[in-house]
């Protein structure tokens, strides 16, 4: 699941108490969108430390014109 | 031959689970399969049964008491148990509810507990709806089939302590559990219980960091919401619970809360905002009996774990003392919380994205 950090509160997260791996956590702290295991993502969402990233669907360019 | 078994204190743990019927075991079918919420304490203290025991030296017995002349009565007693732990999002919200018997929820989910003279339950013992009023089954687990289950558990008094020089700057919480269900029966408080600990919910390990307090304000004389530099604070909340009545087993029918009392103290730096000069004089506030607003805020919005807002209306209960150290002079301000018109004597809001029914 793709999530993005709630940057103003992520510093409150205890890294030892969450399922998110340290590499992804660092990326979240950098403001990046990360794609992590659903269970870990849902935990961060539930704790208020992250929000779900928008899954923007790219529109296919039309070939008929 | 003597037995070599040892029980390390760290092997003992305990859990809480909200009751749906006051003072009744959630699972009394035999092995207790309840999914208790494990509490994050370091050393668990044993529940203490405070029952009635009469021991008399009757006339004609000579100069020593006789075994036949003592009476023990487990009916009408209480069970108490102290606790001391670092506050976590769920434990803080639940213990606030257990001592204040009041809960308001907003968003997803900020839990609010206020002491205001009208919102808090004056008694409990009737129907429980959606976890309110709030009482718990407490499971004390030293070893398989040696557990103690205490029903009708609430918190009689709770102290919140924040000190930048203690507990690595993490908020701690201590106090006492109380139950009026002292007579062991199979459907309520009971001994020799076999808890299914595999079902228990894990301890939380997310905390409240004192060094994360974004807003710290206190009124002084005519100046509202002056920002202070803090060393430590304590809030003590007690509800004066009494057990009343007795059911067919001699256990309580009602708990009565005659007075909610909130006292505390705070240590703040002597500086231009809090001194002995005109307009900022903490001594004058004491001499005038001023009511002052105190705000301590861990994060402003209460939308993530580790955030909490404490708002109190305080009056100093003694002359502001001094704490003298190499960091300079600090004021030691002891206070009690008072209802100030429509502003609550004490209010705490904290985030935990769980409904009370999940506890």
- Residue with the bigger pLDDT between B153 and A63: it is B153
Give the number of other Cβ atoms within 10 Å of residue B313's Cβ.
Answer: 23
Please judge whether A47 and B204 are an interchain contact, meaning their C-beta atoms are less than 8 angstroms apart: no
CA-to-CA separations, B201 to B17, B34, B138, in angstroms, rounded? 10, 10, 14
Please judge whether B304 and A17 are an interchain contact, meaning their C-beta atoms are less than 8 angstroms apart: no
Does the ipTM surpass 0.90? no
B231 and B164 Cβ atoms separated by less than 8 Å: yes
DSSP E strands in B131-189: the ranges are: 136-141, 147-163, 172-179
Out of B204, B212, B353, closest to residue A46 by CB: B353
Q: Is B352 on the interface with A (CB under 8 A)?
A: no
Please judge whether A13 and B306 are an interchain contact, meaning their C-beta atoms are less than 8 angstroms apart: yes
Give the model's pLDDT for residue A65. Answer: 47
B96 and B88 Cβ atoms separated by less than 8 Å: no
Out of A12, A14, A17, closest to residue B304 by CB: A12
Q: Is B207 on the interface with A (CB under 8 A)?
A: yes
Please judge whether B204 and A16 are an interchain contact, meaning their C-beta atoms are less than 8 angstroms apart: no
For residues B230-251, average pLDDT: 97
- If you count residue pairs, one on A and one on B, with CB atoms under 8 Å apart, how many are there? 41
Give the number of other Cβ atoms within 10 Å of residue B47's Cβ.
Answer: 21
B254 class by beta-carbon count within 10 Å (0-12 exposed, 13-18 middle, 19+ buried): middle
Please judge whether B304 and A14 are an interchain contact, meaning their C-beta atoms are less than 8 angstroms apart: no
pLDDT beyond 80 at A58: no
Chain A residues closer than 8 Å to B40 by CB: none
Please judge whether B306 and A16 are an interchain contact, meaning their C-beta atoms are less than 8 angstroms apart: no
Give the model's pLDDT for residue A48. Answer: 95
Give the model's pLDDT for residue A62. Answer: 59
d(CA A44, CA A41): 5
Beta strands B261-269 and B328-337: pairing type? Answer: antiparallel
Sign of CA dihedral B36, B39, B45, B48: negative
Average pLDDT, chain B: 96
For residues B79-91, average pLDDT: 98
pLDDT tens by residue, B332-350: 999 999 999 999 999 999 9
For residues A42-54, average pLDDT: 94
User: For chain B, what are the domain ranges?
Assistant: 9-54+68-358
- CA B85 to chain A, closest CA, distance in angstroms equals 16
Nearest chain A residue to B90 by CA: give it: A47
Beta strands B213-220 and B223-227: pairing type? Answer: antiparallel
- CA B160 to chain A, closest CA, distance in angstroms equals 19
3-state helix, strand, coil in chain A (%, to 5): 35, 15, 50
User: For chain A, what are the domain ranges?
Assistant: 2-52
Please judge whether B304 and A47 are an interchain contact, meaning their C-beta atoms are less than 8 angstroms apart: yes
Burial string for B95-131 (b: 16+ CB within 10 Å, else e) reads bbbbbbbbbeeeeebbbbbbbbeebbbebbbeebeeb
CA-to-CA separations, B65 to B53, B54, B55, B62, B134, in angstroms, rounded? 14, 12, 8, 8, 44
Give the model's pLDDT for residue A64. Answer: 58
d(CA B283, CA A53): 53
């Amino acid at each position: 699941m793709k999530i993005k950090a709630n940057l103003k509160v992520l510093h409150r997260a205890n890294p030892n108490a969450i399922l998110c791996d340290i590499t992804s956590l660092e990326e979240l702290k950098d403001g990046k969108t990360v794609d992590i295991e659903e269970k870990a993502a849902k935990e961060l969402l539930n704790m208020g430390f992250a929000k779900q990233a928008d899954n923007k669907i790219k529109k296919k360019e039309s070939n008929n014109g | 031959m003597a037995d070599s078994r040892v029980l390390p204190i760290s092997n003992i743990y305990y859990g809480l689970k909200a009751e749906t019927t006051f003072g009744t075991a959630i699972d009394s079918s035999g092995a207790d399969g309840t999914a208790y919420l494990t509490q994050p304490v370091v050393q668990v203290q044993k529940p203490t049964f405070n029952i009635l025991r009469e021991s008399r030296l009757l006339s004609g017995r000579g100069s020593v008491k006789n075994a036949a002349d003592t009476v023990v009565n487990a009916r009408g007693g209480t069970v108490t148990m102290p606790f001391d732990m670092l506050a976590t999002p769920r434990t803080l919200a639940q213990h606030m509810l257990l001592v204040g018997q009041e809960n308001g929820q907003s968003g997803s989910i900020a839990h609010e507990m206020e002491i205001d003279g009208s919102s808090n339950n004056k008694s409990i013992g009737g129907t429980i709806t959606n976890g309110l009023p709030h009482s718990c089954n407490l499971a004390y687990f030293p070893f398989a089939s040696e557990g103690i289950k205490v029903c009708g558990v609430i918190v009689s008094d709770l102290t919140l302590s924040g000190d930048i020089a203690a507990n690595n700057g993490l908020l701690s919480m201590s106090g006492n559990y109380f139950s009026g269900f002292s007579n062991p029966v199979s459907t309520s408080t009971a001994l020799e219980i076999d808890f299914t600990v595999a079902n228990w919910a894990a301890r939380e390990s997310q905390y409240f960091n004192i060094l994360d307090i974004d807003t710290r304000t206190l009124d002084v004389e005519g100046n509202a919401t002056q920002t202070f530099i803090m060393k430590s604070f304590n809030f003590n909340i007690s509800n004066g619970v009494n057990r009343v009545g007795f059911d067919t087993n001699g256990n309580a029918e009602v708990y009565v809360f005659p007075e909610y009392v909130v006292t505390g103290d705070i240590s703040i730096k002597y500086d231009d905002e809090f001194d002995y000069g005109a307009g900022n004089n903490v001594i004058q506030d004491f001499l005038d009996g001023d009511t002052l607003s105190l705000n301590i805020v861990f994060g402003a919005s209460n939308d993530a774990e580790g955030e909490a807002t404490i708002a109190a209306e305080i009056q100093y209960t003694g002359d502001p003392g001094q704490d003298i150290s190499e960091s300079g002079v600090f004021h030691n301000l002891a206070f009690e919380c008072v209802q100030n018109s429509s502003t609550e004597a004490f209010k705490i809001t904290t985030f935990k994205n769980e409904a009370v029914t999940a506890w």
